[in-house]
Amino acid sequence: MRTSAPTARLTTLDLFAGCGGLTRGFLDEGSFSTVGAVEVDTAAAATFAANFDPRGEHTFAGDIADFRSVPDVDVVIGGPPCQGFSALGKRDPADARNQLWRHFVRVVRESDAAMFVFENVDRFAKTPEFELLRRAASEDGELADFRTQVFRLNAADFGVPQKRVRTIIVGSRIGPVAQPAPTHGKAPADGRGTWTSLRQAFMQGPVVLEPDVREEWLPESSIVFGGQEVPGAFKLRDLHITRHYDLTSQIRYAHIAPGQGRFNLPEELQYPCWRRHTKGAGDVLGRLRWDEPAVTIRTEFFRPEKGRFLHPQWQNGGVQVNRALTHAEAAVVQGFDERHVWCGSKAEIARQIGNAVPPSLARAVAQVVAQRLLVV
């Protein structure tokens, strides 16, 4: 399989691949091609294949525990779900929660990779699982010839219109990599531009997404992947549709200005259960701001009650937009463009979008990894 720039000389294998945000960034860097992916969720695996593996022959759509034909690669990349790890000290190999951990390490070893890139949530660096990974890549661990470096990176610093802080662990048995260098900052400095705002992303970027959208279903179309029919493959613009909101919800959203949330609702519009809870997540029913990057996009961005996901346009020239981000807007906030296509139901695609590594962030990591691999 060759899905890559013509200059690509290095290979990646993507574990827990989701829709392939990490792979997209590595391919965009230009030095890499992908030899495949492992992903248990059929819709996500179909999305990966539709983008990077058109015949679907190198996308293993199953549990990593069953992935046996491990190819040789230069770099294993992957972002396992954090809740899949075991508690520190529990070394019981029969504990199901140990499986993801053990298999990531196993595949790195069996692939003969020179390096690995492991992505996870910000707080991962404070978990027992992080210690387990470090222990594996230490003198008496299973990856004894690897050494690890830990980077805490904010996607906004790499041009993504979103504040999303992630822990990136680079494991290497050929020497350290440089710290990925931010291209953007909160304020301009040292040749860096300022963070990309939502206005720039939606209205001035390569994909202009007008706020005025239709209430609609996804188009009727499906592909066959792994012998199963999966909805898709949808273009980014197919995903720029909204769901139905009842009138009361719309009235609630109309009261919330950019930067505000549920605490700004008048008493009579509070949900009864909220009246008793005057503290807690201020982001609930939050409205985004046009001139800032978005907050971290999660898998339920299409539900305003799940976070700060209301569209930023509010009372501009009398026009209000009283809905959550569309799937297309959320994908753009994650840094995807029109090259990427999507498979699955709306909920499945939302999960893929919310779980993804923004490609520009992945690309910055790919750059330092390629620099190390290409000098050896």
Ligand X SMILES: C[S@@+](CC[C@H](N)C(=O)[O-])C[C@H]1O[C@@H](n2cnc3c(N)ncnc32)[C@H](O)[C@@H]1O
Judged by CB, which is closer to ligand X: 236, or 265? 236
Total residues in contact with ligand X, by rule CB under 6 A = 22
Q: Which stretch binds ligand X (CB under 6 A): 29-37, 248-256, 341-349, 350-358?
A: 350-358
| 19 given a catalytic annotation | no
Residue 39 in the binding site for ligand X (CB under 6 A):
yes
Binding ligand X (rule: CB under 6 A), the pick from 100, 113, 265, 366 is 100
Residue 59 in the binding site for ligand X (CB under 6 A):
no
Binding ligand X (rule: CB under 6 A), the pick from 13, 35, 37, 38 is 38
Residue 364 in the binding site for ligand X (CB under 6 A):
no
Name residue 77's beta-bridge partners. Answer: 14, 117
> Would you give the DSSP letter of residue 162?
B
Q: How far is CA 94 from CA 98, 104, 229, 254, in A?
A: 8, 16, 34, 52
Report the distance separating Cα 113 and Cα 66, nearest Å: 20
Closest among 341, 95, 75, 137 to 233, alpha carbons compared: 341
Residue 168 in the binding site for ligand X (CB under 6 A):
no
Judged by CB, which is closer to ligand X: 117, or 265? 117
Report the distance separating Cα 328 and Cα 306, nearest Å: 18
Report the distance separating Cα 141 and Cα 163, nearest Å: 35
Please give the residues from 290 up to 319 whose contact with ligand X meets the rule CB under 6 A: none
Residue 63 in the binding site for ligand X (CB under 6 A):
yes
Binding ligand X (rule: CB under 6 A), the pick from 331, 357, 366, 373 is 357
Residue 64 in the binding site for ligand X (CB under 6 A):
yes
Distance of closest approach, residue 63 Cβ to ligand X, in angstroms: 4
Residue 68 burial (10 A CB sphere; 0-12, 13-18, 19+): exposed
The letter for the amino acid at 255 is H
70: left (phi over 0), alpha (psi -120 to 50) or beta: beta
What the block records as the tokens of 72 is 């040789």
Q: Are 260 and 283 in contact (CB under 8 A)?
A: no
Q: Which stretch binds ligand X (CB under 6 A): 34-42, 106-114, 276-284, 325-333?
A: 34-42
Residue 44 in the binding site for ligand X (CB under 6 A):
yes
Site string for ligand X, 1-30 (x = CB under 6 A): ---------------xxxxxxx--------
Q: Which residue shows structure tokens 């992303």?
A: 201
Distance of closest approach, residue 21 Cβ to ligand X, in angstroms: 3
Closest among 306, 310, 296 to 260, alpha carbons compared: 310
Judged by CB, which is closer to ligand X: 47, or 326? 47
What the block records as the tokens of 113 is 């990779």
Distance of closest approach, residue 148 Cβ to ligand X, in angstroms: 18
Binding ligand X (rule: CB under 6 A), the pick from 36, 79, 159, 231 is 79
| Buried residues in 185-219 as b, exposed as e (16+ CB within 10 A) | eeeeeeebeebbbbbbbbeeeebebebebeeeebe
- Residue 4 has φ and ψ, to the nearest 5°, of -170, 170
Residue 355 in the binding site for ligand X (CB under 6 A):
yes
Catalytic residues: 82
Give the residues lining the site for ligand X (CB under 6 A).
Answer: 16-22, 38-41, 44, 63-64, 79-81, 84, 100, 355-357
